[in-house]
Amino acid sequence: MNHLAIIKFDEIFLKGKNRPLFINQLVNNLDRRLKSNGDFLIVRRRLFLEVEYSKKDSWKEIKKTLSQTFGIGKFYKAFKLPKNIASLKPFLLSFLEGKSIASFRIKTKRSDKTFSKTSWEIDRILGETIHSHLGIPIILKTPELTIYVEIATNEIFVHFQEFSGLGGLPTGISGRVLSLISGGIDSPVAAWQIMKRGCSITFLHFHSYPLTNNSSIEKVREIVDLLQAFHGKSKLTLVPFSEIQKCIITNAPTAYRILLYRRYMFKIAQKIALKEKALALVTGESLGQVSSQTIQNITAISAGTKLPILRPLIGYNKSEIISIAKSIGTFNTSIEPDQDCCSLFVPKRPVLFAKTTEVSELEKKLPIKNIFKNTLANIENLVISKQKR
């Protein structure tokens, strides 16, 4: 295979002895994600990965995949040369010959500090060679082209353009979580943030169909599909929530509706998490953004749930969340109008600072046991996968 990309890691997971765990996970993920791009081979090196591939045209797709895979710090298309200066000169001259380049500089890095020449000496030798043969001016500050030369243990790598990865940890290394996704702007961003910390995700959506139309379901399917670019194939569990809502509406004070909806969402989520072997729940809550998101109400909502609830957006402003939603491509879908289950019969004056004991007492009075059981019996599971759509 005669084409090569180099991948540099972002964080090395827990460092030291656990590094192979991190690298194995990243290699497995890349193995799966790169499959559709023709023949390729991933070679593990101590501090980076090499991806060899056979078709030159594959680069565009490989680049897209690498830029959407968590755990990568940066990556580039590279050329591997024998470890001597003599091999670099003809390579660079023939590479640059005939190209119209206004200015250049050489940037050498040595991971092998025993190499006979220093980085600065190599910069100078190669710079002078190119300048004297091709006449291209050397500009150190802002050249049109930077030629990166890397003196590694057994070889020299050359590359011309670096790309930033997403950073974070490879998907799967931190275990599975269950992400509550509403179709709004926040929860897809929350799922993405947690994915970035290495979690695999099962998605969970509550809908009120047939009390509402199925627009929220369609939106969430679309959003999970968009997030596949980062996560790969995903499972989406749909929970019919209207019977539980009706029970709450008829039996509890109006001001407590939303809090009780949320408590039941978490109770159901916890049951599903157990089946999915998910270690935590994830929500898009952000402190003070809406009335159910005061500290008191968050406490009252969470009290019935034993699993940890991860709230990656808790300290984010709406504008910060929107800017991430735009950058990951979920924003436009999120703002499409829908009939969300929680917008049904929303109280005019919801309670702002609920007491946990109060909410628990209200919950005890609900004739909801059988409804809860029926709801669990009627969940639906979808697999969201590009290939199958």
Residue placing its CB nearer to Mg ion in the complex, 139 or 346: 346
- Amino acid, single-letter form, for residue 288: G
**Of residues 341, 351, 359, 384, which one binds ligand ATP by CB under 6 A?**
341
Q: Is 282 exposed, middle or buried (0-12, 13-18, 19+ CB in 10 A)?
A: buried
Residue placing its CB nearer to ligand ATP in the complex, 254 or 289: 289
Binding mask 155-194 for Mg ion (x = CB under 5 A): ---------------------------x-x----------
**Of residues 123, 285, 338, 363, which one binds ligand ATP by CB under 6 A?**
285
Residue 342 lies near ligand ATP (rule: CB under 6 A): yes
Counting residues that bind ligand ATP (by CB under 6 A) gives 19
Residue 339 lies near Mg ion (rule: CB under 5 A): no
Site for ligand ATP in 87-106 (CB under 6 A): none
| Contact range with ligand ATP by CB under 6 A, out of 43-51, 83-91, 128-136, 278-286 | 278-286
Residue placing its CB nearer to ligand ATP in the complex, 129 or 270: 270
Residue 240 lies near ligand ATP (rule: CB under 6 A): no
Nearest to 95 by CA among 55, 57, 136, 64: 136
| Contact range with ligand ATP by CB under 6 A, out of 128-136, 174-182, 243-251, 363-371 | 174-182
Q: If you ran DSSP here, which 8-state letter would residue 365 be given? A: T
| Contact range with ligand ATP by CB under 6 A, out of 46-54, 284-292, 349-357, 380-388 | 284-292
Q: Which residue is nearest to ligand ATP (CB)?
A: 184
Cβ contacts of 280 within 8 Å, gap of 6 or more: 177, 178, 273, 307, 308, 309, 310
Q: How far apart are CA 247 and CA 240, in angstroms?
A: 13
Partnered with residue 382 across adjacent β-strands are: 236
For residue 301, give the H/E element and its range.
Answer: helix 295-302
**Structure tokens, 46:** 């101590």
- Positive or negative, the Cα torsion across 341, 343, 344, 350? positive
Give the pairing of strands 145-151 and 156-159: antiparallel
Q: By the 8 A CB rule, do 134 and 93 touch?
A: yes
Q: What is the maximum alpha-carbon separation in the chain? A: 88
State the minimum distance, in angstroms, from the CB of residue 290 to Mg ion.
8
Q: By the 8 A CB rule, do 355 and 296 touch?
A: yes
The residues of the shown chain that bind ligand ATP, judged by CB under 6 A, are 180-182, 184-187, 204-206, 283-285, 289-290, 292, 340-342
The residues of the shown chain that bind Mg ion, judged by CB under 5 A, are 182, 184
